[in-house]
């Protein structure tokens, strides 16, 4: 299968500063991939190279089979790009800007009107269509940025922090919109809002200091990168004794009392100690009120990976 | 085909921005104020000389015959308009590329499937069109004059052709200046400085400097004079067209290098 994005040994220096170092990844058509990393990790640089705005210092980036440098025009025809903190011409109205973007992207004259209407309604811009961009709110600007990216149905959407500056209800709308694009569009979106990734993306690429530190589905990442398994149980019984008894269970590495009879039990990788824990509690004659396995959140995986790198 | 439609898209956008911002109106206001003032003073002077010629017709019969509107009104007018334009042209171009860089809108523009030539020509032609609109207002002077006297339209037309070519050269140079920086003021100053330099380059010849002839051949002003006299010389046409192409080409190089330097 032809990949929508192919990145091989991509490296970018800004002067003497290494921004992206020998990056390798692929994105299949129809995938929604989250690009995750702390500020300054190289996310935006990578996306700018993919969008054809910057040239890499070395390595290859291909979009839809076209090289981003030598076949830049073809590659750019295949993508819609929403830059980080998007800047739009303040002296144009929303409709004037979309007209310009549609023509620049080569939308045929007879389809122009319908195409602009489509993105206006998809992004909820109806009420500001005749307003100057200088006068619309940040949320509307972000949506207009997304609207221009959607013009002409590009097979690939590159979204750099698409929900930046939006209020909570707009964030939900934009996320829904992005999810609806799955299948028909390939989407690569960068963010440092972690819940966004678990809600929207099928796959996550975590990048730190210009290098990929993990690339997998959210579930696999939290299973594999979580450093062990965790259970939470609530027990009615004397706290010190309960904690001591739980610690004696083979495989348990740590017990944290969380108050009100709740305990967090951590164990080695791949171990499910729930049956053992239940038995111990019942044997001691205490009452077991709740017992469940707890997955590692993406935040924890992310922090683990990033801090590991740094140490 | 993509090149042309992309170029037209940008041309329309730039025109919309010109008409939506004060720079066009302010530049236009002062250009027409000055052009009108010079036209008026030229006509007054022509009037004065004509009266004197009529009074002295008995003593100096040749004088009246030498007086004509082209030589007394339009040729000096074209000369002085060229100087007014020297000041105004950098104002029309300084925003074009510098502002795209400063505000970050270039990030979208340069990721649209437009060629660099499409972008450059779109912006250049927009500025040229604005310039032509300003110039078109001054045609009314010739029309007014044609009402009261016989006018040699050929040499007036040649003068306008000179102004269009000179303006085109200034706009190409200004666009290049705008591609060098993200600061509009810097772009304006660099554009004005370069334009003035190419203007006065011909003076070296008069001062007898070595290679003076070469500098004279490169001077913007040197090639402009003959248009005002009603003479269209191929050398002058080639000079202005090459000048325009050269600076548009430098602008293209500048845009290309942006991707690598960043």
Whole-model pTM: value is 0.86
Band (A310; pLDDT cuts 50, 70, 90):
low
Using CB atoms, which residue from B12, B104, B259 is nearest to A54? B259
Mean pLDDT of A145-171: 88
Q: Which residue of B has its CA nearest to A78?
A: B113
The single-letter DSSP state of residue A297 is P
The CATH number assigned to the domain holding A279 equals 3.30.70.100
Instruction: Work out the pLDDT band at A289, boundaries 50, 70, 90.
Output: confident
Task: Report DSSP state, residue A295.
Answer: P
Percent of chain B having pLDDT more than 70?
A: 97
Q: Which of B2, B107, B114 to mutate to test the interface with A (most CBs of A within 10 A)?
A: B107
- The chain-wide mean pLDDT, for chain A, equals 85
Q: Is A305 within the bounds of a domain?
A: no
In a domain, A309, yes or no: no
The closest alpha carbon to B163, from B31, B21, B12, B11, belongs to B31
- Residue A270: the pLDDT is 65
* Residue B95 near residue B23 (C-beta atoms within 8 A): yes
**Distance, CA of A183 to CA of A29 (rounded, Å):** 8
Condensed to tens digits (0 to 9), the pLDDT of residues B232-243 reads 999 999 999 999
Q: Which residue of B has its CA nearest to A73?
A: B113
- Structural domain of A120: 5-223
User: Is ipTM > 0.85 here?
Assistant: yes
**Best interface-test mutation with B: which of A104, A105, A146, A160 has the largest number of B CBs within 10 A?**
A104
Q: Do A91 and B20 touch (CB under 8 A)?
A: yes
Lowest mean pLDDT among A140-144, A159-163, A222-226, B201-205: A222-226
CB-CB neighbors (< 8 A) of A77 in chain B: 113
Structural domain includes residue A302: no
More confident residue, A276 or B17: B17
Within-domain flag for A122: yes
B131 Cβ partners below 8 Å, 6+ apart?
B85, B89, B92, B164, B167, B168, B171
How far apart are the C-alpha atoms of A192 and A36, rounded to whole Å?
A: 6
| For A100, nearest residue in chain B (alpha carbons) | B9
- Domain residue limits, chain B: 2-261
Banded model confidence at residue A269, pLDDT cuts 50, 70, 90: low
If we measure between CA atoms, which residue out of B145, B168, B146 comes closest to residue B89?
Answer: B168
**Residue A174 domain flag:** yes
Picking from A72, A82, A103 by the largest number of B CB atoms within 10 A of its own CB, the best residue to mutate is A103
One domain, residues A72 and A212? yes
Q: Angle between the B234-261 and B153-179 helix axes, to the nearest 10 degrees?
A: 20
Q: Which residue's entry shows tokens 């600007």?
A: A141
Tell me whether residue A303 is in a domain: no
Q: Are residues A129 and A32 in the same domain?
A: yes
CATH number for position A168: 3.40.50.300
What's the CA gap between A1 and A6, in Å, rounded?
Answer: 12
| Least CB–CB distance from B260: residue in A55, A83, A88 | A55
Determine, for residues A85 and B115 on separate chains, whether the beta-carbon distance falls below 8 Å. no
Among B4, B8, B9, B112, the residue to mutate for chain A (most A Cβ within 10 A): B112
- Contact list in B for residue A86 (CB cut-off 8 A) is 104, 108
From A274's Cα to the closest Cα of chain B, the distance in A is 54
Residue A263 domain flag = yes
Rounded Cα gap, residues A283 and B242, in angstroms: 96
Q: Are the beta carbons of A159 and A89 closer than 8 angstroms?
A: no
Nearest CA in chain A to B119: A104
Taking CA–CA distances from A92, the nearest residue in chain B reads B17
Q: Are A145 and A284 contained in the same domain?
A: no
CA B1/CA A302 separation, integer angstroms: 48
Question: Is B35 a residue whose pLDDT tops 60?
Answer: yes
Task: Assess A89–B contact: CB distance below 8 Å, yes or no.
Answer: yes
The whole-angstrom separation of Cα A180 and Cα A200 is 10
Instruction: Tell me the average pLDDT of chain B.
Output: 89
CA A78 from centre of chain:
21
Looking only at Cα atoms, what is the longest distance across chain A? 79
B108 close contact with A: CB closer than 8 A? yes
pLDDT of res. A185: 87
Chain A within 8 Å of B140 (Cβ-Cβ)?
no
Give the mean model confidence (pLDDT) for residues A157-186.
84
**Nearest-by-Cβ selection for A92 from B9, B16, B104:** B16
Over residues A118-145, the pLDDT tens digits come to 999 988 899 999 999 999 988 889 889 9
Closest Cα of chain A to B20: distance in Å? 6
Name residue, tokens 């500098």: B215
User: Average of pLDDT values for B47-75?
Assistant: 80
The answer to whether residues A143 and A243 belong to one domain is no
**H helix runs in B98-115, sequence order:** 98-103, 106-109
Reported as a single tens digit per residue, the pLDDT across A20-41 is: 989 999 999 989 999 888 888 8
Question: Burial code of B12-32, b = ≥16 C-beta within 10 A, e = fewer?
Answer: bbbbbbbebeeebeebbeebe
Residue of A nearest to B105 (CA): A87
Residue A308 lies in a domain: no
For the ranges A121-130, A245-254, A295-304, the one whose mean pLDDT is highest: A121-130
In the listed set A185, A206, A223, which residue is the last one of a domain according to the structure?
A223
Which residues, other chains included, contact B238 with Cβ-Cβ below 8 Å and sequence gap of 6+? none
Are A166 and A177 spatial neighbours (Cβ–Cβ below 8 Å)?
no
Boundary of a domain, candidates A208, A223, A238:
A223
Asked if the Cβ–Cβ distance from A89 to B9 is below 8 Å, we say no
If asked whether residues A62 and A203 sit together in one domain, one would say yes
Give A37-41 contacts, CB < 8 A, sequence gap 24+: A37/A190, A37/A192, A37/A206, A37/A207, A37/A208, A37/A306, A38/A192, A38/A208, A38/A306, A39/A192, A41/A207, A41/A208, A41/A209, A41/A210
- Are residue A72 and residue A167 in the same domain, yes or no? yes
Partners of A73 on chain B (C-beta within 8 Å) are: 2, 113, 115
For the residues B6-20, what does the mean pLDDT come to? 94
Torsion, CA B226, CA B229, CA B232, CA B233, rounded to 10: -30
Q: What is the DSSP string of B53-90?
A: HHHTTTT-HHHHHH--HIIIIIHHHHHHHHHHHHHHHH
A185, A254: one domain? no
Give the Å distances, CA to CA, from B184 to A11, B26, B170, B190.
Answer: 33, 16, 16, 10
Q: How far apart are CA B179 and CA B187, in angstroms?
A: 8
Flag whether pLDDT at A235 surpasses 70. Answer: yes
Q: Determine the straight-line distance between the first and last CA of chain B, rounded to whole angstroms.
A: 30
A40-97 pLDDT, tens per residue? 888 999 999 999 999 999 999 999 999 999 999 999 999 999 998 889 999 999 999 9
Do A63 and A164 share a domain, yes or no? Answer: yes
The CA distance from A151 to B238, in Å, is 43
Q: B161, B143 in Cβ contact below 8 A?
A: no
All residues of chain B having their beta carbon less than 8 Å from the beta carbon of residue A103 are 5-6, 8-9, 12
To the nearest whole Å, the CA of B177 is away from the closest chain A CA by 21
Note the pLDDT of residue A226.
59
> A69 with A86, same domain?
yes
CA distance A125 to A119: 8
Contacting residues of A for B15, CB less than 8 Å apart? none
Q: What is residue A194's three-state secondary structure?
A: helix
Same domain for A185 and A150, yes or no, is yes
| Segment A98-120 mean pLDDT | 94
User: Could you tell me the pLDDT band of residue A274, with boundaries at 50, 70 and 90?
Assistant: confident
Count: domains in chain A: 2
Q: Strands across the sheet with A287-294, in order? A: A252-259, A262-267, A229-236, A287-294
């Amino acid at each position: 299968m032809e990949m929508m994005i192919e990145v091989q040994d991509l490296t970018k220096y800004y002067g003497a500063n290494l921004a992206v170092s020998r990056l390798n990844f692929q994105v299949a058509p129809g995938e929604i991939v989250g690009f995750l990393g702390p500020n300054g990790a190289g996310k935006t640089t990578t996306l700018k190279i993919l969008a054809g705005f910057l040239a890499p210092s070395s390595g290859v980036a291909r979009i839809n089979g076209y090289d981003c440098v030598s076949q830049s025009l073809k590659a750019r025809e295949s993508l819609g790009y929403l830059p980080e903190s998007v800047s739009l011409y303040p002296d144009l109205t929303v409709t004037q800007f979309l007209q310009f973007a549609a023509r620049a992207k080569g939308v045929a004259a007879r389809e122009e009107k319908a195409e602009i209407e489509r993105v206006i309604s998809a992004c909820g811009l109806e009420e500001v269509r005749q307003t100057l961009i200088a006068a619309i709110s940040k949320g509307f600007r972000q949506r207009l940025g997304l609207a221009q990216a959607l013009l002409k149905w590009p097979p690939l959407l590159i979204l750099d922090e698409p929900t930046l500056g939006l209020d909570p209800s707009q964030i939900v709308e934009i996320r829904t919109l992005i999810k609806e694009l799955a299948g028909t569009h390939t989407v690569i979106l960068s963010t440092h809002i972690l819940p966004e990734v678990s809600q929207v993306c099928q796959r996550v690429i975590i990048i730190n200091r210009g290098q990929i530190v993990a690339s997998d589905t959210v579930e696999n990442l939290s299973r594999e990168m979580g450093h062990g398994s965790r259970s939470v149980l609530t027990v009615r019984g004397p706290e010190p004794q309960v904690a001591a008894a739980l610690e004696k269970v083979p495989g348990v590495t740590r017990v944290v009392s969380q108050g009100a009879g709740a305990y967090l039990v951590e164990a080695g990788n791949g171990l499910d100690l729930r049956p053992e824990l239940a038995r111990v509690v019942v044997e001691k004659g205490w009452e077991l009120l709740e017992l469940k396995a707890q997955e590692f959140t993406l935040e924890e995986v992310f922090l683990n990976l990033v801090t590991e790198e740094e140490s | 085909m993509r090149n042309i439609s992309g170029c037209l898209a940008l041309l329309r956008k730039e025109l919309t921005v010109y008409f939506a911002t004060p720079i066009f109106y302010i530049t236009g206001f002062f250009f027409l104020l000055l052009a009108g003032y010079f036209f008026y003073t030229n006509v007054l002077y022509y009037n004065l000389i004509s009266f004197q010629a009529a009074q002295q017709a008995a003593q100096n019969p040749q004088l009246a015959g030498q007086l004509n509107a082209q030589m007394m009104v339009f040729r000096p007018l074209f000369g002085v308009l060229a100087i007014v334009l020297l000041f105004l042209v950098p104002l029309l171009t300084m925003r074009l590329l510098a502002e795209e860089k400063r505000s970050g809108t270039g990030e979208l523009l340069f990721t649209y499937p437009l060629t660099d030539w499409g972008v450059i020509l779109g912006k250049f032609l927009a500025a040229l069109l604005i310039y032509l609109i300003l110039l078109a207002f001054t045609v009314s002077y010739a029309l007014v004059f044609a009402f009261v006297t016989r006018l040699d339209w050929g040499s007036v037309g040649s003068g306008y052709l000179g102004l269009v070519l000179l303006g085109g050269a200034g706009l190409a140079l200004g666009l290049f200046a705008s591609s060098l920086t993200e600061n509009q003021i810097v772009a304006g100053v660099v554009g004005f400085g370069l334009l003035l330099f190419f203007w006065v380059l011909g003076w070296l010849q008069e001062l007898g400097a070595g290679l003076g002839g070469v500098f004279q051949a490169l001077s913007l002003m040197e090639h402009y004079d003959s248009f005002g006299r009603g003479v269209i010389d191929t050398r002058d046409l080639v000079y202005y067209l090459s000048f325009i192409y050269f600076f548009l080409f430098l602008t293209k190089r500048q845009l290309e290098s942006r991707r690598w330097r960043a």
